[in-house]
Amino acid sequence: MEEKRALLSVYDKSGLVEFADGLVELGFEIISSGGTHGHLQDAGITSRDISELTGFSDLLDGRVKTLHPVVYAGILSRDTAQDRKALEGLGIVPFRVVAVNLYPFQKTVADPRVTMEMAMEQVDIGGVSLLRAASKAHHRCYAVCDPDDYSRVLEVLRSEREDDSLRMELAVKAFAHTMAYDAAITDFLSTHLGEGKLPPYFVAGFERDTILRYGENPHQRAALYLPMNGGRGPVAGGRKLSGREISYNNYCDLESAYALVQEFDRPAGAVIKHANPCGCAVADNPAEALKMARAGDPVSAFGGIIATNRTLDVKVAGVIVGPKGFFEAVVAPKVTPKALEMIRHRKGWGERIIVVEASAGSASEFYPRWIEGGLLLSDADRLVVEGDKLQVVTKQGVSDEQMADLIFAFTVVKHVRSNAITIAREGMLLGMGAGQPNRILSVQLALQNAEEQHGGCEGAVLASDAFFPMPDAPTLAAKAGIRVIIQPGGSVKDGEVIRAMDELGVAMVFTGIRHFRH
């Protein structure tokens, strides 16, 4: 049965006229609805309004246009004698092409002024149903939800050959499109179920953007997937300006580095190695902050990932392309052309250094993590300590300068894998201990790094992501020169720990906040 009928019903009119004109040249009869029909008429393209097929004009102010057996029988019919006979008896011609895109629900609800009534008016019913029907019938029907695919469909139709793979590809794309659309609606409605609740359903649609060289290791496959509903994060949605391909591990470290520097209002720089900060600092200008971050642990910094929370200008680039060391990648909110050229021409390494300009995308409200056969979802750790809410629990007080260092160290420790310890002085990370099975080992590692790289930690502060269960680790830190310690508190032996610090003349501050990061 020769099928030369196409149904066009689109909200996004881009490319529509050219597509419809190409179909008409191929002898297709165009059936269209509502605004699509008017748009084609204005362009001088002949099409029949869908009401001529259904016998009904738009109902309920356009809410019901395409929901009719004549339409869906023409889409869902199979290539069987029984179905052909049924259609012929009713005078129904099958649809070979169904091009539909949906009401802009995601764009509508992105406006903070949107009301529930406004949002519900943008929930597409007929369009979703048409796409699903056409996708189900992909054995003969082209379900087109993206104007970028119009030219591909026309090319195949002009060739007068069947392309089962294209129809399958378009069907998968359409099902993913409607899934992401439903996910956006579910997400919006879930936010109205009550403040402070985790959503009862976490539905997200992601589209493969880039196939990566490999995963964490060469024997693993990997790709970058981006959300179909928008809302891309700063790194995932960022622009690669130069350098080789971004790897799986690069993405993980770029994300960690940029998240860390975004914690600070002052100019900040960070160096990340294997998801942990080996350097971090704040200063009066971004170049100085990054210079201090590099100096935190220059040995570990080699081959690391750099981030700054300010524009990457020629002064910052000068720190990056200095004579010593090599950095795999750098991410910044903005990169100037001159700075980019400096990095590109860095002798010996320039062609390899990845430069990413972060997008303006905001961080996610939730922190998802896959486990085998399931998904863990928690609020993202956005809590920031404030000086006036900290509790000094020892006899020894804390100066304003020490308090600034305490807040800096406790902010950095949030980005270190547990058990996490950071040592800082004058807005600079001196040492870090991460991922150890007990806290005293992390303290030992942090002290060792401070000793090897900075000649010790006299007068520095120490931060712990969780409480000290015993006095041993803080006592070790105090004897190494640490003068102030910040920790959440909450151990059954807090009193014993505090007494030990009083005997050593060390100040201790409780936050009441824990920052585990696994």
- For 153-187, give the secondary structure using H, E and C: HHHHHHHCCCCHHHHHHHHHHHHHHHHHHHHHHHH
Choose the catalytic residue: 4, 68, 274, 493: 274
Structure tokens at 332: 């910044």
Structure tokens at 79: 């290539």
The helix (run of H) or strand (run of E) holding residue 39 is helix 34-42
Cα 211 to the center of its chain, rounded Å:
16
Our separate counts of H helices and E strands in the chain read: 19, 21
The residue behind tokens 């020629």 is: 314
Question: Residue 315 corresponds to which amino acid?
Answer: K
Strand 276-282 with 268-273, pairing: antiparallel
Tell me, yes or no, if 274 is annotated catalytic.
yes
The DSSP result for 414-437, as a single string, is TTSPSS-EEEEETTEEEEEE-S-S
Of 512, 435, 407, whose CA–CA distance to 467 is shortest? 512
Choose the catalytic residue: 136, 240, 315, 493: 136
Tell me, yes or no, if 177 is annotated catalytic.
no
Q: 484: which residues sit within 8 A by CB, 6+ positions away?
A: 398, 402, 405, 406, 461, 462, 506, 507, 508, 509
Residue ranges of alpha helices (H) inside 306-394 are 314-320, 337-344
Give the burial class of 219: count Cβ atoms within 10 A of its Cβ; 0-12 exposed, 13-18 middle, 19 or more buried: exposed
- Length of the chain, in residues: 518
Name the residues annotated as catalytic.
136, 274
